[in-house]
A and B are shown apart, each in its own frame.
Chain A
């Protein structure tokens, strides 16, 4: 049977006009009574990178309200830190934002170091900064590909995963762990860089810079992508900051605020020359664009640091058993996903008395009920993708 030829006409059926009238009326009533529909997205949905559940009330295609239900991955790290010693806690907090584990360790270790009044040697500070920036690149380059995937473009995802693999190999080469390095020690680092690592990193950074150009053409310059992302999910700067949205998400709303530059000085950022990128639009495209520029900027920062990295030890002299003196401290850093902070309270014991973990994605996602109201279902995925959260960073 041919599928291209003209269709056979449908057989005519005799219809009672009276019945038709009722049918029409019934249809009419259906049209008028557009009851709300509850759309349950998740807990397992590709756009949520984990187990985020979103209960959306829809009127047709329009979202009336959306309520994120979190906690499917709550591991209670704040409680667990009270039952661990300081060196053990770094193993835990690695798992908060698992895409940039190394960056999670830095503020906590820095908090303990400041309370103990010790400082890591310059070489260790440089290596820490390099690895932090590498984890930023690994996080963002995956986003740059994955955001394309979420709006229907398959190809960029492969580029994203390929490039992230280059960076993860570097992190693994230096620390021994692809995702959970646990490389920071209070007072320095576990090891020095392996032989040949610096040269290898230069090569990879060149590749990253090249693929940033690719992403700029392939995704950011793509007309379909722009149509899907521009003007979608606009976060005004004042609303964003009142919700605690931070990092690239806030900078994409035009807030020129980066803790690497504006916060209390940490690591070697004060010595580096870098630009903080902002975008005035605050929409999904702006968030993509800012992360794209920041990836490039991070690669340039790594190259800068590789030229300057000083010689010397990577570990300062610390007591065999780490006891942190009594006190409390708030340490915040600019993590790939935004502001990551630890409020550490020490009572002079082997482990922290209380650790408040301020994770970026938690606040970034808390704006969703506000942001999703009035959007359309296809845009919902764009918005979720562009906010870029990690479930472990929400649920802690």
Chain B
């Protein structure tokens, strides 16, 4: 986390005050992150956070609800053939920290005040579950179904957690980090050439070479 660099923040101080006043002890950690205000609440306060957002913070607009998996991407094969662009090998939490592997996060906004809040909450690894937001924001329906099928996070109080994108028979949770992307398991990442030491900066400072290397490695793709 690049906390020492102090990202440029444009968060309305009134929003910060209101969050502190309304949620109080339920806030584990809060941080201003660029134009966004990230608030990590206790898991049991996940639903209350939405209630507070809808009333006290005037956030009438639901942007999204989704999940996060902080486990590092497992490498297929040896170090010579990583399955993904090199990522850290130990688990590190993001902005506002975290205790475990999974987090649920959602973003709500105010159309009147123009501000937005991202809420995060830790969920257990063995049985990830939080309360549903559907009673407060009906639009959470599809978002929670998506988070359920992609991460296996249960939303208690949701009337019908069924598959949204994937076929009904599908097993597994594709966005979890341990779910392999088969295309990369059978063939190493084609952008592997980039995982070299940095070449010296060119004299004329032309930046386009580095760019074309990156995009040139893209192969196939759908039409």
Residues of chain A whose beta carbon lies under 8 Å from any beta carbon of chain B: 70-71, 74-76, 78-80, 82-88, 90-92, 95, 114, 117, 182, 185-187, 190, 238-239, 241-246, 250, 255-257, 262-264, 315-322, 325-330, 332, 339, 341, 343, 345, 347-351, 353-354, 356, 358, 362-363, 366-367, 370, 395
Asked whether any CB of chain A lies closer than 8 Å to the CB of B111, the reply is yes
**Cβ–Cβ contact B175 & A114, under 8 A:** no
**Cβ–Cβ contact A243 & B94, under 8 A:** no
**Cβ–Cβ contact A257 & B2, under 8 A:** no
Other A-B pairs, 4, CB within 8 Å; known A244-B137, A322-B214 = A83-B83, A91-B218, A241-B111, A327-B1
Q: A185 CA to B2 CA in the complex, in Å?
A: 23
Stretch of B15-23, B39-47, B122-130, B190-198 on the interface side? B190-198
Q: A185 CA to B69 CA in the complex, in Å?
A: 28
Contact with A along B88-101 (1 / 0, CB 8 A): 10001011000000
A277 to chain B, nearest CB (A): 15
Selected from B62, B163, B209, the residue in CB contact (under 8 A) with A244 is B62
Q: Which of B74-127 contact A (CB under 8 A)?
A: 83-88, 92, 94-95, 105, 107, 111-112, 114, 116, 118
**Cβ–Cβ contact B214 & A86, under 8 A:** yes
A167 to chain B, nearest CB (A): 22
**Cβ–Cβ contact B191 & A341, under 8 A:** no
Selected from A87, A190, A370, the residue in CB contact (under 8 A) with B214 is A87
In the complex with contacts A330-B36, A356-B64, A74-B165 CB distance below 8 A: yes
**Cβ–Cβ contact B210 & A182, under 8 A:** no
Selected from A84, A256, A315, the residue in CB contact (under 8 A) with B207 is A315
**Cβ–Cβ contact B222 & A75, under 8 A:** yes
* B contacts with A, residue count (CB < 8 A): 73
Q: Could you jot down 25 A-B contacts, CB within 8 Å? A: A70-B165, A75-B222, A83-B83, A85-B85, A85-B194, A86-B214, A117-B5, A190-B208, A190-B211, A241-B61, A241-B62, A242-B136, A244-B143, A318-B207, A320-B209, A321-B214, A322-B214, A326-B1, A328-B95, A330-B107, A345-B94, A349-B86, A356-B105, A363-B62, A363-B139
**Cβ–Cβ contact A87 & B111, under 8 A:** no
Chain B residue numbers with a CB within 8 Å of A367 are 139
**Cβ–Cβ contact B191 & A327, under 8 A:** no
A154 to chain B, nearest CB (A): 29
Q: A339 CA to B116 CA in the complex, in Å?
A: 13
**Cβ–Cβ contact B165 & A71, under 8 A:** yes
Closest chain A residue to B184, Cβ basis: A83
